[in-house]
Amino acid sequence: MHRELAGRLIDPHTLARLTALADLDPGLVLDDFGTPEARAALADAEVIVSGWGCPPIDEEVLDAAPRLSAVIHAAGSVKHHVTEACWRRGLQVTSAAWANALPVAEYTVAAVLLANKRLLEIREEYRLRRAPHDWQLAYATAGNYRRTVGIVGASRIGRRVLELLRPHDLDLLLHDPYVDPAEAARLGARAVELDELCAASDVVSVHAPELPATRHLIDGRRLALMRDGATLVNTSRGSLVDQEALVREVSSGRLDAVIDVTEPEVLPADSPLYDLPNVVLTPHVAGSLGGELHRMAAAAADELARYTAGLPFAHPVLAEDEHRTA
């Protein structure tokens, strides 16, 4: 039980909306469906409003929740708690993944623009010089005009990144096996194979889902294809990048990196990624952080309002799409 969570995750206006829409106890936050309090709540529950860390809603949980008909997830992926048993029951499922995608895309766009501006390199050199210098001569190839950015995966986040990058006079490449050239063009990008994207891009940004087929999608061979001085941005999942190969590349100084996700999630204290001047390493915070959590709570309230009005969810999660999503 974590009764203090509601006040931290839900702003007062949204909390008032939620409690007005349904018989909902905002202080009842469960991380174990097997407790007596949880079983009592499940017996009458028609909707579960879930968040990060929700335990699996399996057959046993469903047996204890005969009235349950919907899961409203006030976070991103539902893979960790919406089980096959939920789909067999025919539960309606919705997620605030679209809301969580917005800050990830903003983080990514900031990383892309600053990478092309050579921010890390200039910061280090300025810190060492502490004196006048011909920065235009030293960084004659820096800047964002007509630089090439490769987006790996036309996910919600990948599409939002493309949308936000379009005004910046960049050449945008896209690799996604489910997107044809015509759709890529509508997104403002040119569809290419992944090897070509890695070789041609000044920045490669990873937005593919975590699946068995995408493990080490960016492996040592593809990292070696990247241009000297190029930047890898990963805000997807750590498993998509061969981390040992990446450490070799950034330790040599050949590549730069902006890494928000790693494998394991928290790196050992002696990992060189913490200290390399050409690496920005953050602790999986590209998604909703602080006040941005309130956007996801508001999204959940919107979906609960639709449910109570007998309307379909605005952002449904479908069983047949699970193999393509993070």
The residues annotated with a catalytic role in the active site are 237, 265, 284
Q: Which two tokens stand for residue 182?
A: 């015509």
Instruction: Indicate if the alpha-carbon torsion angle 146, 160, 173, 111 is positive or negative.
Output: positive
Rounded CA gap, 121 and 277, in Å?
8
Rounded CA gap, 278 and 233, in Å?
12
- Find the helix or strand (DSSP H, E) in which 29 lies: none
Interior/surface letters 197-214, b for 16+ CB within 10 angstroms, e for the rest:
bbbbbbbbbbbbbbbeeb
Instruction: Indicate if the alpha-carbon torsion angle 263, 266, 268, 272 is positive or negative.
Output: positive
Instruction: Indicate if the alpha-carbon torsion angle 158, 225, 123, 263 is positive or negative.
Output: positive
Complete DSSP assignment for 32-69: -TTSHHHHHHHHH-SEEEE-TTPPPB-HHHHHT-TT--
Q: Which two tokens stand for residue 20?
A: 């007005």
Nearest CA to 155 out of 176, 171, 173, 170 is that of 176
